[in-house]
Amino acid sequence: MIDLHNHTPLCNHADGTPDEFIKKAIEKSIKIYGFADHAPMEFDYEYRMGFEDMDRYEEEIKKLKEKYKGKIEILLGYEVDFTPVVDKRVLERNVDYLIGSVHFLDNWGFDNPEFIKEWDKRDVDDVYREYFSKIEKMASSKLFDIVGHIDLVKVFGHKPKTDIKDLAKDALKAIKKSGMAIEINTAGLRKPVKELYPSNELLEMILNEGIDITFSSDAHSPEQVGYKLKETIEKLKNMGLNEAVYFKNREKHKIKI
């Protein structure tokens, strides 16, 4: 089992120590476990670590990597917001991988319950179009290794009138071309939409395109580590997937599932 997207309290909205996260991962028989905490940026300061925290974060994870050697493979990454200018200070870090995520359309944090009212002022299809065009640009930028929660835009259950396959098509083509992997992220099952990221419809397209797949629980507390991961991997196997990927030193590795 692989779980590559996990947070730490440094982002100000997660609980538990990294050590507790790892203990839980071992308990759940996860073999490859990665931290990808919210990277700093000059915006949305309250929900992420500061630039001055990056050394501390990386040192702590590297220490745990040594401590648990032989028991579980610990990897180090960041979840990075794809904004018009992605900060060099993050892109230059020496890590195993970067997850690229879109949580903002201009300055609107569309997945944050604090700003849910903004949805009422918007055309849902336009929001989806804008969202997937950002995902497409992110893939073309080639800055990241993994696409974070590819259809996060559905988080509160807003459904577009336009077929999702049409809305996401160009983004998926760009992802395939870029060589990025897509994470199957179980956090959506805990959110109002109550679905995996990606949805079944998108999953079919992703598998048809032959895009590489990895897995994540997007845990913000030790209890969420590996959340519904076992059944999710089973589901993907039943859909015909037999290998997953992970990244070490920014290099892609394949593993049988």
- Give me 60's structure tokens: 């702590």
When asked if residue 3 is in the footprint of Zn ion (CB under 5 A), the reply is: no
Nearest residue to Zn ion on Cβ basis: 218
* Cβ 183 to Zn ion shortest distance, Å: 9
Report the C-alpha gap between 109 and 113 in whole angstroms. 9
Partner from Fe ion, Zn ion, none contacting 3, C-beta within 5 to 8 A by type: none
Report the C-alpha gap between 237 and 97 in whole angstroms. 24
Cα separation values, 94 from 35, 68, 98, 123, Å: 14, 20, 10, 40
x-marked contacts with Fe ion along 98-127 as a string, rule CB under 5 A: ---x--------------------------
The answer to whether residues 183 and 147 touch, using CB atoms and an 8 Å cutoff, is yes
**Between residue 180 and residue 239, which ones bind Zn ion under the rule CB under 5 A?**
218
When asked if residue 81 is in the footprint of Zn ion (CB under 5 A), the reply is: no
Between 51 and 68, whose beta carbon lies closer to Zn ion? 51
Residue 163's Cβ-count burial label (10 Å; 0-12, 13-18, 19+) is exposed
Residue from 172, 191, 218, 244 touching Fe ion (CB under 5 A): that is 218
Residues that bind Zn ion in the complex, under the rule CB under 5 A = 218
Residues that bind Fe ion in the complex, under the rule CB under 5 A = 79, 101, 218
